[in-house]
Each structure stands twice: as structure tokens, then as C-alpha cells.
């Protein structure tokens, strides 16, 4: 039995169809003006970078507008990047947003907050090992509370509340020590 790798044309057409289905507006309007084309090209680089870091095929990565987060730019607020990696082996989707403390080099994994079940950053990921440390933590693994924005959580979220207390205790310890 032989397995054949699809040719470039077949893979290109499949990639276009995937984009049209997943992000119709972004794909259709990518040539509208220099800004949209620049965003499209920049997101292509984001996809290549995270695909390399997490050792997945580039065409498993889709970067679209983040419906919940905007960032200030010279031209006003622009939508952030929402990075979706579809795992071929399991079919499950992994979502990331940029980690703005290390632009282009690390990302924040989004998952359901245990306190309020809203989707929020749960791990800072630059390598496959970071993701593994989150999935299989040991006692040194620390949650990513410094990146938490109240807006990502439901009002009264217990995790956010206890994280604020932990951060306050840490600050007190540092100022004493
Ligand atoms: Zn929460």
C-alpha cells in the first residue's frame, strides 16, 4: 500500500476553503487596503511562528480577529489576534492570544476558568514544554494570574478573587523581605 502526499494545488485549494469557511470576512477583505493586507501577512507569520514552537503543521493554525479583545493602534482600536490550532490527531481546538510581554515569541493559552467557566488565559506558552507543564503540572507550576483581566471573567469569579489575594500577599512579602 502506498500513501500519497497531496500536491501543492490540492493543499492550496483546501487551505483557501478552510479560510473561507472559518473566517469569511477576514479572507474576503484581506486585499481591501494596505492595513488589511498587512494584518493578513502579519498573521501568516504568527501562524508560522506558533506552528514551529508547538511542532504542528502551519495549516493547522488559523489566526482571526479576537471577538473579545482589542488593542490600541495609531489608527484607533484594532481587533487582537485569536489563534486557533486544530489538532488533527484528536480534532480538538486549542485557542491562544498574544502574550504582549513577549510579542511574537509566546502566547497565552485560553481555557475555561475553574472559578467562573469563562474563557480566560490559563498558561503562558513559548514552547511545547510550557504547554506540557500546564497539562501535567508539578508543584513549581504557577498559574498565569499576572495576565488576568477582570473583563475575561464573570463578576464574582472565585479564582480571580483568590488570585488577587495571592498577588497582594506576594507583594507584601516582597516589600518586607
Ligand atoms: Zn473566572
What are the structural domain ranges in the chain? 1-79, 99-177
| Cα-to-chain-centroid distance, residue 167 | 24
CA of 93 relative to ligand 1 center, distance in Å: 20
d(CA 129, CA 135): 10
| pLDDT reported for residue 176 | 45
CA of 156 relative to ligand 1 center, distance in Å: 8
CA of 76 relative to ligand 1 center, distance in Å: 29
CA of 83 relative to ligand 1 center, distance in Å: 21
CA of 146 relative to ligand 1 center, distance in Å: 14
- Residue owning grid cell 516589600: 175
DSSP 3-state assignment of 17?
Answer: helix
Run means of pLDDT, 10 residues per run, the chain, 177 residues: 80 92 93 94 97 95 92 85 94 94 93 88 94 90 71 84 68 49
| pLDDT reported for residue 146 | 59
| pLDDT reported for residue 6 | 85
pTM for this structure? 0.83
Half-sphere exposure of 7 (CA within 13 A, CB side): 1
Q: Which three cell numbers stand for residue 3?
A: 500513501
CA of 103 relative to ligand 1 center, distance in Å: 25
| pLDDT reported for residue 130 | 95
CA of 147 relative to ligand 1 center, distance in Å: 12
d(CA 24, CA 30): 10
- Asked whether the CA dihedral 31, 32, 37, 40 is positive or negative, the reply is negative
Which residues sit opposite 87 in a β-bridge?
A: none
CA of 100 relative to ligand 1 center, distance in Å: 21
CA of 150 relative to ligand 1 center, distance in Å: 8
Amino acid at each position: 500500500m502506498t500513501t500519497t502526499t497531496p500536491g501543492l494545488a490540492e493543499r492550496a485549494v483546501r487551505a483557501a476553503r478552510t479560510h473561507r469557511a472559518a473566517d469569511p470576512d477576514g479572507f474576503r477583505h484581506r486585499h481591501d487596503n494596505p492595513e488589511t493586507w498587512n494584518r493578513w501577512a502579519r498573521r501568516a507569520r504568527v501562524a508560522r511562528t506558533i506552528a514551529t514552537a508547538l511542532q504542528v503543521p502551519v495549516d493547522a493554525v488559523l489566526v482571526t480577529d479576537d471577538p473579545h479583545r482589542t488593542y490600541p493602534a495609531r489608527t484607533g482600536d484594532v481587533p487582537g489576534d485569536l489563534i486557533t490550532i486544530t489538532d488533527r490527531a484528536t480534532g480538538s481546538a486549542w485557542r491562544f492570544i498574544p502574550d504582549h510581554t513577549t510579542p511574537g515569541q509566546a502566547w497565552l493559552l485560553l481555557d475555561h476558568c475553574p472559578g467562573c467557566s469563562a474563557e480566560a488565559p490559563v498558561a503562558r506558552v513559548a514552547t511545547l514544554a510550557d504547554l506540557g507543564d500546564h497539562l501535567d503540572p508539578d508543584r513549581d507550576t504557577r498559574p498565569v494570574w499576572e495576565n488576568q483581566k477582570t473583563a475575561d471573567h464573570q463578576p464574582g469569579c472565585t479564582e480571580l478573587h483568590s488570585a488577587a489575594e495571592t498577588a497582594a500577599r506576594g507583594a507584601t512579602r516582597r516589600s518586607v523581605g
